[in-house]
Structure 1
Amino acid sequence: MRKLLLTSLVSIAAMAAASSPGQADPMAEAQAIIAEHEKMPVFEPPGEAFDAKSCMAGKKVLSIPISMTIPFNVELQKAMAKAAAEVGFTYTTWDNQLKSDQWMQGVSQAISQKYDVLDIAGGLNPEWLGPQLAEARAAGLKITTTHFYDVTQEQHSSVDYSGSVDYTGAGKLLAAWAYAKTEGKPNVLIIGSSDVLPSIPFVKSIQDQLKALCPDCVQKHLDVPVSEWATKIQPGVQSAVLADPGINFILPIYDSMSQFVIPALRITGSEGAVKVASYNGTPFVLDMVREGQVQMDIGESLGWSGYAAVDNIMRMLCGLPSVKKLNSPLLVFDERNIETAGVPATFDDGYGDAHLEGFRKLWKLN
């Protein structure tokens, strides 16, 4: 009887351990994360509906991107301007070429022309414009950021509302992808740029997710400032691959880095054997997916992001709560669906257009 009782207790303990969250199947977890982002995006309202046309009548927004020499910023600004035109308020993009004096001139213009909102967009850190933004706020302007902070980060004290981005979610997806595609045995080189503020939680999310999926798996981190991508990424990747021939995945957190990764793999004879996955949905990198040089790229529709950013700006002026993150889903592009991104690829193909009708309804435009 005692032996039977002991056997039963052991069986019960084993069943409890198997059903414990800590004993979850990591491969199933990774595949679930991937599957969630392989589906065509659907529109989920980021907040309550409101009469945008009425509350935005006569309002003016000036947006200063980090640089209009960057295609990402050009497309994001186009989308924001299009959304503003649908609602019917003044939206101005401050053209600049990555020069601090030009950013300052933009702030002065917003003050002198009596704009209601000054938006700091596409990677421009508001901390770089502390005194100027303080002057703008003193003049009565509201300050927003678009596509800068990660959802886990606190905005600077000079900012009223932030259109945050789920870089952390993208990091978890990249880690899950590397784990699943190596059958649970990733040996990963992560390439980051800690001089870009949201890059810090982005890299950490990859590292943490990999540790959660496989605590013993190998991961390394190469940190390269944006200004040195063209000179430091290729030799850094070459050195890493030669030092550890077991590396089987490279995760550059921004997909434009890939143009410097592929030559390094080619030189070391590891192109094809070492896979590359990244984030941003930049057209030339999506073309690299179609050509087989990059295995996967996480895309984010800039058309959708632009409407989401304008939605958050309007919520501020209309007295509504800020949204937790920009309503712009992440979508996996790989060999399965890459043709939908266009040939050649674009910033906005492949995501569908659910956001257009969704935002129009949310803003009570129809």
Structure 2
Amino acid sequence: MQKLLTGAFLAVCTYGMTAPAMADPMADAKAIIAEHEKMPVFAAPGEAFDAKACMKDKKVLSIPISMTIPFNVELQKAMASAAAEIGFTYTTWDNQLKVDQWIQGVSQAISQKYDALDIAGGLNPEVLGPQLSEAHAAGLKISTTHLYDVTQEQFAGVDYSAKVDFSGAGKLLAAWAYVKTKGKPNVLIVGSSDVLPSIPFVKAIQSELTALCPDCTQKHLDVPVSEWATKIQPGVQSALISDPGINFVLPIYDSMSQFVFPALRITGSEGAVKIASFNGTPFVLDMLREGQVDMDIGESLGWAGYAAIDNIMRMTCGLPTVAKLNVPLLVFDEKNVKTAGIPANFNDGYGDAYLGGFRKLWKLN
């Protein structure tokens, strides 16, 4: 577990970085936002292929970090649905965030002669280094799903990775805070450096804010996942008290918002300080609809599941890997949040362009 969650600490840092000013930062920031306010359209991540033919009699086993996490449950449902359309064996290895259960999953994939093993939903493959080496020796191909940022290199024991544009989400959050504060953001970023893609995610926010507004203030509160419930609220409260000028809090994962909002209420900052985040988690979209959150960047898990299966099949069939997981990022705010459902869910609001897109790509039509 230590390799899964490493470098955990709690700190508040102020950044005074300098960068060349943009010619028209407000126009640039608005353009970033506008790009992600459009209804998502399907863009093929690679060449079309006969999925049924190349996956005939193939077996894939996926090990999510934990099936106690709703995100992983929904992602696995979508992956299983996509596999069912193709007609190959797809197995989700049920577990409750325990290393010995992950190891048992790898052993099952080897003993049952699976063709591919997917490490999904945030599980760091380095934790299973020796077991994955054994799987490779047995002839299995190994992928990761929804783990790495597009800027990160994958673990040497992995063949293909369906990477996520966390950096793009970071730039979008920075642009949102800049535009909504009329070019005067004073931002508190709440991160978790123990989660693998968090470091490039936070850096993308910091860099974009600096590019948009070199003289603006930004701070970073770093809280390990295991301490969200106990450290985020007091950490945000302390930051707000020490700097009453803060006008935006950007928790990089939207489930953090449930601990950020009480800090705003307690300090009397509700309304004056806005929250924007990433993931499109249903209860956070409900918070947005109720006015507690200003914006949430969503990604359809139905779409993500089909995109993940596309990459796994490309690996299994010997096709080139995709540059990133083929899932658009969509801005949810007060104007469109009701399209996510009442109460919100993981898939409404994004349209269904991915279904026809992937079916055509896999030559099912």
Report the TM-score range of the alignment, normalised by the length of the smaller protein: over 0.9
1:254 deviation in Å? Answer: 0.1
- 1:191-217 Cα deviation digits (max 9, x unpaired): 000000100000000000000000000
Deviations 1:153-176 (A, max 9, x none): 000000000000000000000000
Residue by residue over 1:298-356, the C-alpha shift from the partner in whole angstroms, topping out at 9 and shown as x without a partner, is 00000000000000010111111000001100000000101100000000000000000
Is the CA contact 2:83–2:309 (under 8 Å) kept in the aligned structure 1? yes
Match of 1:12 in 2: none
Q: CA deviation digits over 1:200-237, x for unaligned, max 9?
A: 00000000000000000000000000000000000000
Paired residue type of 1:198 = P
Question: Aligned pair 1:305/2:267, yes or no?
Answer: no
Number of the residue aligned with 2:359: 360
Q: For 1:41, what is the secondary structure of its paired residue?
A: coil
Residue of structure 2 in register with 1:201 after alignment: 200
Give the 3-state SS of the residue equivalent to 2:246 in structure 1.
coil
Match of 2:147 in 1: 148
Amino acid at match of 2:271: G
CA distance in structure 2 between the aligned counterparts of 1:267 and 1:123, rounded to whole angstroms? 33
Task: Tell me the amino acid that sits aligned with residue 44 of structure 1.
Answer: A
State the Cα deviation string for residues 117-149 of structure 1 (Å, max 9, x = none). 110000000001111111111111111000000
Does structure 1 retain, via aligned residues, the 8 Å contact 2:22–2:211? Answer: no
Equivalent position of 1:268 in the other structure = 267
Quick check: 1:255 aligned with 2:254?
Answer: yes
Taking the TM superposition and a 5 Å limit, the aligned residue runs for 1:125-274 are 125-274=124-273
AA partner of residue 302 (structure 1): L
**Correspondence 1:331-346 to 2 at 5 A:** 331-346=330-345
Aligned to 1:97, what secondary structure does the other structure show?
coil
In structure 2, the residue matched to 1:10 is none
Residue matched to 1:79: 78
Give the secondary-structure state (helix, strand or coil) at the position aligned to 2:40.
Answer: coil
CA distance in 1, matches of 2:121, 2:23: 38
2: CA distance, partners of 1:161 / 1:135 = 17
Where does residue 4 of structure 1 map in the other structure?
none
C-alpha displacement at 1:22, in angstroms? 6.1
Partner Cα distance (2:129, 2:215) in 1: 44
TM value normalised by structure 2: 0.94
Residue 85 of structure 1 aligns to a residue whose secondary structure is helix
Give 3-state SS (helix, strand or coil) of 1:220's partner.
strand
Percent identity of paired positions between Structure 1 and Structure 2: 84
* SS of structure 1 residue aligned to 2:245: coil
Tell whether the 8 Å contact from 2:21 to 2:212 is kept in structure 1 after alignment.
no
Paired letter, 1:88 = G
- Matched residue type, 1:237: V
**What 5-or-longer segments of structure 1 have no aligned partner?**
1-20
What is the CA–CA distance in structure 1 between the aligned matches of 2:196 and 2:174, rounded to whole Å? 20
Structure 1 Cα separation of the partners of residues 106 and 220 of structure 2: 37
1:348 aligns with 2:347: yes
Kindly state the Cα deviation for residue 23 of structure 1 after the two structures are TM-superposed: 4.8
Change (3 A) 1:111 1:266: same
- Measured in 1, the distance between the counterparts of 2:21 and 2:315 equals 41
C-alpha distance in 2 between matches for 1:213 and 1:134: 45
- Tell me the amino acid that sits aligned with residue 165 of structure 1: V
Superposed CA RMSD in Å reads: 0.8
Q: Secondary structure at the match of 1:62?
A: strand
Within a 5 Å distance, the mapping from 1:22-171 to structure 2 comes to 23-171=22-170
In the alignment, what sits opposite 2:15? none
In 2, the alpha carbon distance for the partners of 1:96 and 1:55 equals 30
- Runs of 4+ in structure 1 displaced over 6 angstroms? none
Structure 1 position 279 matched with structure 2 position 278: yes
Shift of 1:24: 1.9
Structure 2 unpaired stretches of 5+:
1-19
- Superimposed CA distance per residue, residues 266-293 of structure 1 (whole angstroms, 9 cap, x where no aligned partner): 1101011100000000000000010000
How far 1:109 moved relative to its partner? 0.5
TM-superposition CA deviations, 1:11-63 (whole Å, max 9, x none): xxxxxxxxxx9652000000000000000000000000000000000000000
Q: Any idea what SS the aligned residue of 1:272 has?
A: coil
Q: CA deviation at 1:365?
A: 0.3
Q: Aligned with 1:251: secondary structure? A: strand
